[in-house]
């Protein structure tokens, strides 16, 4: 359609049946057209790390073909770059490919929190930390949408496992929900306004996300100001009438008219307000209008396959995390001699995960070929597969023997290990975090005959390394690096790229150490988020547990020195209309120097703790970071600005974010456990005034800045004489403090509890 779409006029012309039909899809990938009124279909396609446009087959499980597209590193890799500009560039490239292929909305990014390393889809998600997920999610959305193509921020919300994902209820308290599971969504919605948000399959505290008015309307639209369209995950709608009433706009995929019929019948029966359907259809039409030119393959937009492949290679290299590097084992310094490359994954790379995000790559690099091309002419590269990948016929014993012989004859040995495709996929979770045993046995056998073994890992989610890492000199975590990952690994191993990735998720020593261990994946259709706020490093830090590698860790071929931490409290702006509400900002700056011999990039990480908070808070939380590139000897100042929200917590009692004045610790360093500098700053603000109600305790009244005086005055005028002395004795107050004032009033002969307290509450408000 070439005419611009007039949404209001069309809403006046569409019949109830047509409106109902527009609220669900046409086939798997298209919105419904209404030719009578010139309303076209637009196409949506997966997925987060590259385009998966399926033309002919209605298959969304990754089984059928899709049009070739650049397969970038998956989200867990991309997040390890800690580089928003890189993610923006990848987003831009995906947007360009979508444009060239006539895809109007890319179904991603996925920004769910990695609650457990077992989640089968962790490779599609960014981090265990909401701040990092939020900042990087914004970069991807802005990158894609900058091309005039929409995104679908998914899976909203609390979709942290694959087990029973279509039914399970994630039972999570509101504080962790807000601070951990919704925070990144909130940040992306407020900052980047994705064209669409995709609701998840699961239920949240008993209610399907697809039909939860609190989630889809109250929080997403009213609180966060979301202006776009809410689309269901594919098959996530249980009751289309409840879904539209809750704020879902588009059910995907098509239900062959069944949902439309239900909607029409519900309106006829007075069970669905037609205004709710109008709102949904208005947003569908708004999306179609917005898609405009992007809705058709754009002859003027072609993408440069080689340039995107080169970007994928740069991205994969910047995502790789150098976990360990003893005796300067990396980069490889071979000028001549034999390099043994061991492991089937060097020849047959695993570069993406399985399921709906599976891209049909334009080409694929393998590390073996890239190493052969990259080493000096005088170096001979020998290869042995060492193990089979998902191959039941492989004779691991003889493959191992062959690999040991190759290693024995070599001057340097690189062993490629990783998770077979069958271990990680959409649709199911892992049940352990170990590498396949034959790979660990291979490594041990190789390490027996050679001194400095270098290991390269390919996995979408963390693996346990504790049992074997001591046998290695160096370990490079290369993740699922996309179609150019093989070349990128060669770049890092050979020193053409200095690694600068940092872990976006903790590497625990054992699965049993992980916070969700006893509550994952739940049973009987429920999973209890018993660890509350303590997800990832928040847990390990709170219980003081050793980890294999902490959140934020990553080495470089150079070294960095941090100095001159400066934390300034910038006073609140004079233009605050709601009065003084705490500081506007904290400005944190650090001088970073490259003290080594090669150029490199450091990620300065800023963590904040509130040691004297009145509620339980994590020891420290990432609230800012900056990636700086430095030549040898160069110094730069990294500056991170923290807003009031970065110091606040979600108060269930207040039903909102609460800033509590007092001392905050700002710790800055190179990982969550390598904190090089700390500063304690006092941040002022009005005293905390959490709402009082009929159930409030004496202690809560005394903590309230106004309630304190009101309750003391009431005690002074007690009918039997002044009782205010009751609160003078700290011992007595400790005991009495937990009594709801209502009950105490009765016990102290001050009258009937509820009316007396109501009177006092009126004094506080009045």
Return residues touching ligand BGC (CB under 6 A). 46-47, 60, 107, 154, 233-234, 356
For ligand BGC, the closer CB: 53 or 88: 53
- Give one DSSP letter per residue of 427-491, joined into a string: TB--S--PPPHHHHHHHHHHHHH-S-EEEEEE-SS----TTTGGG-SEEEE--S--TTHHHHHHH
Mode of pairing for the β-strands spanning 649-651 and 656-658? antiparallel
Nearer to ligand BGC, 46 or 610 (CB): 46
Q: Give catalytic status of residue 164 as yes or no.
A: no
Nearer to ligand BGC, 113 or 339 (CB): 113
Q: Tell me how far apart the alpha carbons of residues 315 and 89 are, in angstroms, rounded to a whole number.
A: 9
Smaller CB separation from ligand BGC, 354 or 403: 354
Q: For the chain, what is the radius of gyration of the CA atoms?
A: 29
* 209 or 267: CB nearest ligand BGC: 209
Q: Compute the least distance from the CB of residue 110 to ligand BGC, in Å.
A: 7
Compute the least distance from the CB of residue 50 to ligand BGC, in Å: 13
Count CA within 13 A, CB hemisphere, residue 159: 31
SS3 32: coil
Distance between CA 133 and CA 155 in Å, rounded? 13
Q: Which is nearer to ligand BGC, 211 or 325 (CB)?
A: 211
Q: Which is nearer to ligand BGC, 356 or 589 (CB)?
A: 356
Burial of 281 (0-12, 13-18, 19+ CB in 10 A): buried
Cα 92 to Cα 43: distance, rounded to the nearest angstrom: 18
Nearest C-alpha neighbor of 757 from the set 746, 737, 742, 747: 742
**Residue 216 CB, nearest approach to ligand BGC (Å):** 17
Distance CA 256, CA 244 (A): 17
Q: Which residues contact 201 (CB under 8 A, 6 or more apart)?
A: 155, 159, 165, 166, 167, 209, 210, 233, 235, 236
Report, in Å, the least distance between residue 108 CB and ligand BGC. Answer: 7
- Give me the least distance between CB of 348 and ligand BGC, in Å please: 26
Q: Which helix (H) or strand (E) holds 190?
A: helix 183-192
Least separation, in Å, of the C-beta of 124 and ligand BGC?
Answer: 7
Which one of the listed residues 92, 233, 318, 365 is annotated catalytic?
A: 233
CB of 356 or CB of 558, closer to ligand BGC: 356
DSSP state of 390: S
Opening angle at CA 167, ends 281 and 532, nearest 5: 100
Rounded to a whole number of angstroms, the minimum distance from the CB of residue 46 to ligand BGC is 5
Report the nearest approach of ligand BGC to the CB of residue 234 (Å): 4
Element (H, E) at 356: none
Specify the 3-state DSSP secondary structure of 216.
Answer: helix
Q: For the chain, how far is it from start to end, CA to CA, in angstroms?
A: 60
Residue with tokens 């929080």: 219
Helices (H) and strands (E) in the chain, counts: 24, 24
Residues taking part in catalysis: 233
């Amino acid at each position: 359609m070439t005419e611009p779409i007039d949404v209001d006029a069309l809403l006046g012309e569409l019949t109830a049946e047509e409106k109902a039909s527009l609220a669900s899809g046409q086939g798997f990938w298209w919105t419904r057209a209404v030719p009578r009124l010139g309303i076209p279909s637009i196409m949506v396609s997966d997925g987060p790390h590259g385009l998966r446009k399926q033309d002919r087959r209605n298959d969304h499980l990754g089984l059928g073909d899709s049009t070739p597209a650049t397969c970038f590193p998956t989200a867990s890799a991309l997040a390890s770059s800690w580089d928003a500009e890189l993610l923006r560039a990848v987003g831009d490239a995906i947007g360009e490919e979508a444009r060239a292929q006539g895809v109007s909305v890319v179904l991603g990014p996925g920004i769910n929190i990695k609650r457990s390393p077992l989640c089968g889809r962790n490779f599609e998600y960014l981090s265990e930390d909401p701040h990092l997920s939020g900042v990087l999610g914004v970069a991807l959305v802005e990158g894609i949408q900058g091309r005039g193509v929409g995104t679908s921020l998914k899976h909203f919300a609390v979709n942290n496992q694959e087990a029973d994902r279509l039914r399970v209820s994630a039972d999570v308290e509101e504080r962790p929900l807000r601070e951990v599971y919704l925070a990144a969504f909130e940040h992306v919605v407020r900052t980047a306004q994705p064209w669409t948000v995709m609701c998840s399959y699961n239920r949240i505290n008993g209610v399907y996300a697809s039909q939860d008015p609190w989630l889809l309307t109250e929080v997403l639209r009213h609180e966060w100001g979301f202006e776009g369209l809410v689309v269901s995950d594919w098959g996530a709608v249980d009751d289309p009438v409840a879904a539209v009433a809750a704020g879902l706009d588009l059910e995907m995929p098509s239900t062959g008219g069944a949902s439309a019929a239900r909607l029409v019948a519900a309106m006829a029966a007075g069970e669905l307000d037609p205004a709710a359907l109008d709102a949904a259809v208005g947003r569908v039409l708004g999306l179609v209008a917005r898609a405009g030119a992007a809705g058709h393959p754009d002859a003027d937009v072609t993408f440069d396959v080689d340039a995107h492949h080169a970007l994928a290679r740069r991205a994969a290299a910047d995502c790789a995390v150098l976990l360990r590097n003893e005796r300067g084992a990396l980069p490889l310094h071979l000028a001549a001699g034999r390099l043994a490359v061991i492991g089937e994954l060097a020849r047959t790379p695993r570069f993406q995960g399985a399921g709906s995000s599976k891209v049909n790559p334009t080409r694929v690099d393998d590390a073996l070929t890239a190493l052969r091309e990259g080493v000096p002419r005088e170096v001979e590269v020998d290869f042995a597969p060492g193990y089979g990948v998902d191959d039941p016929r492989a004779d691991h014993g003889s493959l191992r023997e062959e690999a040991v012989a190759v290693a024995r004859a070599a001057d340097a040995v690189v062993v490629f290990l990783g998770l077979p495709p069958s271990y990680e996929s959409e649709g199911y979770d892992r049940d352990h975090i170990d590498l396949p045993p034959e790979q660990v046995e291979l490594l041990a056998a190789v390490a027996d005959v050679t001194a400095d073994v270098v290991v390269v890992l390919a996995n979408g989610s963390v693996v346990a390394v504790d049992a074997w890492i001591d046998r290695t000199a160096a370990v490079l975590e290369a993740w699922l690096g996309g179609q150019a990952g093989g070349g990128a690994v060669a770049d890092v191993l050979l020193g053409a790229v200095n690694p600068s990735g940092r872990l976006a998720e903790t590497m625990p020593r054992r699965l049993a150490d992980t916070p969700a261990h006893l509550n994952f994946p739940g049973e009987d259709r429920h999973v209890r988020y018993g660890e509350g706020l303590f997800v990832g490093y928040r847990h390990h830090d709170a219980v003081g547990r050793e980890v294999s590698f902490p959140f934020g860790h990553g080495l470089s071929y150079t070294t960095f020195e941090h100095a001159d931490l400066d934390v300034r409290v910038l006073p609140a702006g004079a233009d605050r209309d709601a009065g003084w509400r705490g500081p506007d900002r904290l400005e944190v700056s650090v001088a970073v120097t490259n003290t080594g011999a090669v150029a490199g990039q450091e990620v300065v990480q800023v963590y904040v703790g509130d040691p004297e908070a009145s509620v339980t808070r994590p020891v420290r939380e990432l609230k800012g970071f900056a990636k700086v590139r430095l030549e040898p000897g160069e110094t730069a100042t990294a500056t991170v600005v923290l807003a009031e929200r970065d110091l606040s917590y979600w108060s269930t009692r207040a039903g909102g974010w609460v800033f509590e004045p007092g001392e905050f610790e700002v710790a800055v360093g190179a990982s969550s456990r390598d904190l090089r500098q700390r500063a304690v700053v006092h941040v002022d603000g009005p005293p905390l005034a959490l709402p009082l109600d009929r159930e409030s305790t004496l202690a809560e009244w005394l903590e309230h800045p106004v309630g304190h005086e009101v309750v003391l005055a009431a005690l002074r005028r007690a009918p039997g004489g002044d009782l205010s002395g009751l609160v003078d004795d700290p011992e007595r107050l400790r005991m009495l403090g937990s009594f709801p004032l209502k009950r105490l009033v009765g016990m102290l002969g001050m009258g009937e509890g509820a009316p007396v307290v109501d009177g006092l509450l009126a004094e506080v408000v009045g």
